[in-house]
Structure 1
Amino acid sequence: MTTSNELSRCVAQFDPQALPVSAAQAIVRQWATPIVAAERVALSDALDRVLAEDIVSPIDVPAYDNSAMDGYAFDGAALAAAVQADGSVSLAVAGRALAGHPFTGNIDVAQCVRVMTGALMPAGCDTVVPQEQVQEVQAVEGPQADQAAGDGQSIRFAAAALRAGSNRRRAGEDLARGAPAVRAGRILRASDLGLLASLGIGEVAVRRRLRVAFFSTGDELRSIGQPLEPGCVYDSNRYTLLAMLRRLNFDAIDLGVVRDEPAALEKALLTAAASADVILTSGGVSVGDADLTKQLSRALGDVAFWSLAMRPGRPMAFGRVWSGGRAGVGDPALFFGLPGNPVAVMVTFYQIVRDALLIMAGATPQPAPVLHAISAVPIRKRPGRTEFQRGTAQRAADGRWHVAPTGSQGSGVLSSMSEANCFIVLAHDQPDVDAGDTVDIMLFDGLI
């Protein structure tokens, strides 16, 4: 178990009131300990769950050599032995093979078998010539034709059109028996479930879902359905957090809106620590007189940092809260005190919190793809902080991406997130951007 002093040493070389984003990401990832509990679920219920153990293939995939396309299977030796003066090969059709209906006879080097995609390669055949490359010849017509032998047909094709072994899928080519099929830590997608089904696996071990408790703080907040008095606003952050957590397939525990009262906040934090692996709050982590969440979280556990050199999202606290009411007593839960402004909540979640939650869930998070785009307009940027501006990016006819900010970039303008399709990522030491300059963008598709 990590001590409070060890947690504090993580940020000793930084100013905890203005921590660079990269340092905050590294610290958070370091203290995100994966849960170990697992359960077995049916394959049909495993979508978006985190695999708890490596899956080793019990069979070869494919299980047998088969045709990669519709055409004719033959012995590749015919490409040399049966070639004619004009460079073509003529073969008699001895029969046919369909997927699930193999050809059981024997052929010689002058014969071939009509095959469909996926059909078992007939004995003695190692090459398939595609249907499109073949000229079919009906050598015998009428009642004398031998149906089992291919209706008396023969085929002709250019020998130079392919090599021996072409268009054959070998047994185990996709996945060999005993080879790892899917590694532990993978978030199971539709393609993974299809792969596991192809191996005959109907049940898998997955990590239990990460439990995340969240609540909003502020006397001015009202829940949907309540009357809106002067000076009050509807709480949007809980719905945003709930949606982001559900998208990641976590168990989300909504503790509602908590008033700016020390006793109520303390009760909510302790309840959350006792019931969840992670606590997310919004609001109450700035420097105002009523910003009590940071103060209470320090009293109930550890706080590693409480401000970031980023925009939006500067006021953000990270640490732990212990269910017993003080550091080292009871069970710890990681604590993320997010800002109160709606856009800042989303930015800090995706840039700081998301990967830590995935690590705790037992997954191996993959970095969000970053593309280069040409800025359509000048963008003001103050060095010394990382900025995540909301932008609309589109790909031009020349294949290059172009981007422009979505109007006002205030951290309370939630419509700017709804209108945007990417973050414009302006690095810590980056100066102002001129129109035509190249900037980094992080597309929402696949992230949000």
Structure 2
Amino acid sequence: MRHTTSLAPPAMLTVEDQQAEVLAAARPLDAEAVPITQAAGRTLAADVHARVDVPLFDNSAMDGYAVIFTDVEVATAEHPAELRVIADLPAGSAAEPALSTGLAARIMTGAPVPRTANTVVPFEHTRDGLQAWDAAAIVTTAPLRKGANIRRRGEELRAGAVVARAGAMLGALQLTAIAATGVDTVQVRRRPRVSVISTGTELATPGAVLARGQIPESNSVLLASMCAEAGADVISVDTVTDEDAAFTALLDHALRAGSADVLVTSGGVSAGAHEVVKNVLRDRIEFVAVAMQPGRPQAFGRIDDALIFGLPGNPASVAVSFEALVRPALLALQGRKTVQRPMLRLATTAGWRSPTGRQQYVPVTLDRSDPAAWSVRPAAADGSSGAHLAAGLAGVDAYAIVPAEVSAVAPGDLVDVMLLS
């Protein structure tokens, strides 16, 4: 990479400074109790503690025979141990057969092990394997130790131990673990309620017949989808012209009675003549320049209890601004322990120039053909940050993040890559 000594001009905030401002305002929302059947994608507000031991009782780890170890400890194919089978124990059985020397119980995986047994011999270590339950068990391979193939009560987790920590997102694996410990209800943060407003007189509904100067509106689709993916409840999605009165009416509706926790707008925050968001909100929230490309013009603040984000209007700028500023805030409102996307450092197969003094977010595609050496390539044919991209976003897997002091990236350079999936 080619470095320079020139950093962001004093008039611009760094991305880190703006992120810090946003996250300081994004306080976790209230907690609520929900059944685990409705908790997928939610964020834990409190640690979850096991209600029961896991396993709940000594159980068989194999299909085979519950035995007394001394009966089989020297068994071989030439000198097998023959045991009389007195019981059949499928999973879920409550039977408690009493074993003594020379006796065994046929047992299936997960079934409770009789208290008088201390080892399980798998069918594979017997002469005839699975057969009628009351046939003799002929053991041809001795267990390695007493207690073999028995999962002991509580060996994985004891009742009262922490199963999942506050701040964790509940996915399928976490919910399975919680259910396995006998817990049916968890405390989670309330989902942020989000309103989306896309501004621009030039915007037309996708599928509409376009007049001269009009373009299909896509920012509201982008923002609503990204907010939902970040765990928010999108309560309204609107598109409005660059008229102050029309935007004010939608703004008031979104914020009425504290219905929205977050309002995200696109467009109308730059230095043009028809910047409707700036015209209406210039005295209520802060409009700043952030040292990032794309996404330099930004607005942020609080009105009553709602966080307000004013993003620029180009779709690629909206997408980058959301990843850098809005998504972390939505996760912080949910009390998420980690609010940033995972990062990797990967080699790029193509070079590009980067604007001095601004942290650059370059949409890239990942080459995962070699699992040991992933690489990236800019999604835009010209290798740019793609502020003009819209349709090209469909092929983006990640963003390469280039520091403000770097003026050029060469093929083969390692770059920090923010993974999007």
TM-score higher than 0.5: yes
**How do 1:417-432 residues align onto structure 2 when only pairs under 5 Å count?**
417-432=393-408
| Shift, 1:341, TM fit | 0.2
Aligned to 2:337: 364
| Shift, 1:340, TM fit | 0.2
| Shift, 1:242, TM fit | 1.2
The answer (yes or no) to whether the contact 1:285–1:306 under 8 Å persists in 2 is no
Aligned to 1:22: 16
Aligned to 1:157: 141
Aligned to 2:269: 285
The answer (yes or no) to whether the contact 2:317–2:387 under 8 Å persists in 1 is yes
> Which consecutive residues of structure 1, in runs of 5 or more, have no partner in the other structure?
1-13, 142-146, 323-330
| Shift, 1:26, TM fit | 2.3
Identify the match of residue 391 of structure 1 among 364, 368, 372.
364
**In the alignment, is residue 62 of structure 1 matched against residue 55 of structure 2?**
yes
The answer (yes or no) to whether the contact 2:75–2:139 under 8 Å persists in 1 is no
TM-score with structure 2 setting the length: 0.85
Judged with a 3 Å threshold, the aligned counterparts in structure 2 of structure 1 residues 225 and 398 are, in CA distance, closer, same or farther, namely closer
| Shift, 1:192, TM fit | 3.3
Aligned to 1:306: 288
How many Å separate the matches in 2 of 1:431 and 1:72?
70
> What secondary structure sits across from 2:263 in the alignment?
strand
Judged with a 3 Å threshold, the aligned counterparts in structure 2 of structure 1 residues 170 and 366 are, in CA distance, closer, same or farther, namely farther
Aligned to 1:9: none
Identify the match of residue 433 of structure 1 among 400, 409, 418.
409
Aligned to 2:5: none
Aligned to 1:342: 315
Judged with a 3 Å threshold, the aligned counterparts in structure 2 of structure 1 residues 168 and 47 are, in CA distance, closer, same or farther, namely same
**In the alignment, is residue 406 of structure 1 matched against residue 379 of structure 2?**
yes
Deviations 1:281-319 (A, max 9, x none): 00111112222423532312x32x622211221112222
Q: Report percent identity of matched pairs.
A: 37
> Which consecutive residues of structure 2, in runs of 5 or more, have no partner in the other structure?
1-7
The answer (yes or no) to whether the contact 1:395–1:402 under 8 Å persists in 2 is yes
TM-score with structure 1 setting the length: 0.80
**How do 1:246-257 residues align onto structure 2 when only pairs under 5 Å count?**
246-257=228-239
Judged with a 3 Å threshold, the aligned counterparts in structure 2 of structure 1 residues 255 and 151 are, in CA distance, closer, same or farther, namely closer
How many Å separate the matches in 1 of 2:145 and 2:359?
56
Give the letter for the 1:25 counterpart.
Answer: Q
How many Å separate the matches in 1 of 2:313 and 2:290?
14
How many Å separate the matches in 1 of 2:297 and 2:79?
76
Judged with a 3 Å threshold, the aligned counterparts in structure 2 of structure 1 residues 136 and 239 are, in CA distance, closer, same or farther, namely same
How many Å separate the matches in 2 of 1:247 and 1:434?
34
Deviations 1:129-187 (A, max 9, x none): 4444x14269xx9xxxxx77x4123202145xx33333322222333212233334433
Give the letter for the 1:407 counterpart.
Answer: A
Identify the match of residue 34 of structure 1 among 11, 24, 28.
28
> What secondary structure sits across from 1:171 in the alignment?
coil
Runs of 4+ in 1 over 6 A off after TM superposition: 84-89
Identify the match of residue 40 of structure 2 among 33, 36, 47.
47
> Does 344-353 or 169-178 show the bigger shift?
169-178
Higher relative contact order (CA 8 A, sep 6+): 2
How many Å separate the matches in 2 of 1:78 and 1:425?
66
**In the alignment, is residue 187 of structure 1 matched against residue 169 of structure 2?**
yes
Judged with a 3 Å threshold, the aligned counterparts in structure 2 of structure 1 residues 103 and 223 are, in CA distance, closer, same or farther, namely same
Aligned to 1:319: 301
| Shift, 1:269, TM fit | 3.0
> What secondary structure sits across from 1:229 in the alignment?
coil
Judged with a 3 Å threshold, the aligned counterparts in structure 2 of structure 1 residues 128 and 283 are, in CA distance, closer, same or farther, namely same
Give the letter for the 1:279 counterpart.
Answer: L
How many residues are paired up? 407
How many Å separate the matches in 2 of 1:235 and 1:85?
76
The answer (yes or no) to whether the contact 2:294–2:320 under 8 Å persists in 1 is yes
Judged with a 3 Å threshold, the aligned counterparts in structure 2 of structure 1 residues 127 and 436 are, in CA distance, closer, same or farther, namely farther
> What secondary structure sits across from 2:364 in the alignment?
strand
Give the letter for the 1:157 counterpart.
Answer: T
How many Å separate the matches in 2 of 1:397 and 1:131?
42
Give the letter for the 1:296 counterpart.
Answer: V
Identify the match of residue 81 of structure 2 among 73, 90, 97.
90
Aligned to 1:375: 348
Deviations 1:170-207 (A, max 9, x none): 22233321223333443322233333443444444443
Identify the match of residue 127 of structure 1 among 106, 110, 119.
119
The answer (yes or no) to whether the contact 2:301–2:308 under 8 Å persists in 1 is yes
Judged with a 3 Å threshold, the aligned counterparts in structure 2 of structure 1 residues 370 and 87 are, in CA distance, closer, same or farther, namely farther
How many Å separate the matches in 1 of 2:201 and 2:128?
87
